[in-house]
Amino acid sequence: MPVLSSLLVAIFLPAQFYIAGFFLKPQDLPRLAEPAEKVEGISDDKNKPAENSFKEAISDPKKNETALGETGFVPQRKKGFYETKVFAGSAVVIDVDSGTILHYDRGRDQTPIASLTKIMTAVVVMEKVKDLDEAVTIDSEALSADGTKVGCPTSVLCTAERLHSNEKITVKDLLTAMLLDSANDAAVALGKHVAGSQKAFGDLMNEKAKELNLDDSHFCNPSGLDEDNCYSSAYDLARITAYSMRYDTIWKTMKTQETSVRSCDGKYEHMLKNTDILLGEIPNCLGGKTGFTYNAGKSLMLAAADPATGKHKIVAVIINDNQRWEDMRNLLNWTFENYEWK
């Protein structure tokens, strides 16, 4: 019976661990631990974070628009805790401040991630562009991007003013179009403006991924459109999202439901609408990002705060899920029903 009990614990205990101020990869865990317990004393070199690590970066007030820092609270399982399951290819929920993994289901599977890529694109743009009011000239490569575009919520339906060849529009407004409309033309234009080409921008994304110790990710382009050998994981995406919270501009944008932007000369006005339908339904929602390609399936990232306090941010990522809206609602409800911060 003791052997059977141990096996059951090993099977059902989720990966919810945090090491010495840094994220610990679930498969590198040295032992089973109690929920939300901090695991200390790991000395194996492969588990050591790089000097410029993810956790260090998000807590450095000199680098942040908004320093996250430590809240002193760690999520703990409530009495009556129960497990949950969503019907996604992979899923992860993390606590932003402590790094604790609250839900984990194949979270390190390397997979195409479609427009969830644009979270990393936004981070790189924020760190490489000094003035968000810089003008970007729209070229034919941006206009010919596949999939969703400014003014075209689907690849076959255009309902508003599109971008125009040689139109000049600011970096900030293209960021807004990319994050709200999931506009691939805006992402291509930003990538080329920052790095000269989509491939060169992909190299910048991979440099950032290496800096953040994202071992499951390889980026190819700023839009997330399908290419060979382009992938990430739910776990890496959750970490990128938490890192992005240093930038108020990104999250003020992602919490916007509808807006419009204009070309620099005022000639064109572009109406934008957030693709995240849960934004208006969940009161504690901080923002989110949708993604879809045929290779990646339907995916969703959403950040939320504890509805009881308005604090304690979490990030949830689900990848390749045909019922992503329902599953995300259920996953958020489950998280706040089963965890409390102490």
Separation between Cα atoms, residue 283 and residue 198, nearest integer Å: 37
Q: Which residues contact 172 (CB under 8 A, 6 or more apart)?
A: 132, 133, 249
Q: Where are the beta strands (DSSP E) in the chain?
A: 18-19, 38-39, 75-77, 90-95, 101-105, 135-137, 168-170, 258-262, 269-273, 285-293, 297-305, 313-319, 339-341
6 is catalytic: no
* Per annotation, catalytic residue among 90, 98, 182, 263: 182
Q: Say how far apart CA 81 and CA 244 lie, in whole Å.
A: 30
Quick check: 241 and 317 in contact, CB under 8 A? yes
Contact 138, 145 (CB under 8 A): no
CA distance 290 to 336: 22
Look up 5 and say whether it is catalytic: no
Rounded distance, CA 181 to CA 5, Å?
Answer: 50
- Tell me which of 115, 217, 232, 244 is the catalytic residue: 115
**How many residues make up the chain in this entry?**
342
Quote the tokens at residue 52.
């410029």
Point out the catalytic residue in the list 55, 90, 118, 149.
118
Rounded Cα–Cα distance for residues 329 and 331 (Å): 6
Residues facing residue 95 across a β-bridge? 314
The DSSP symbol for 152 reads B
Active site annotation includes 140:
no
Contact 147, 203 (CB under 8 A): no
Catalytically annotated residues: 115, 118, 182
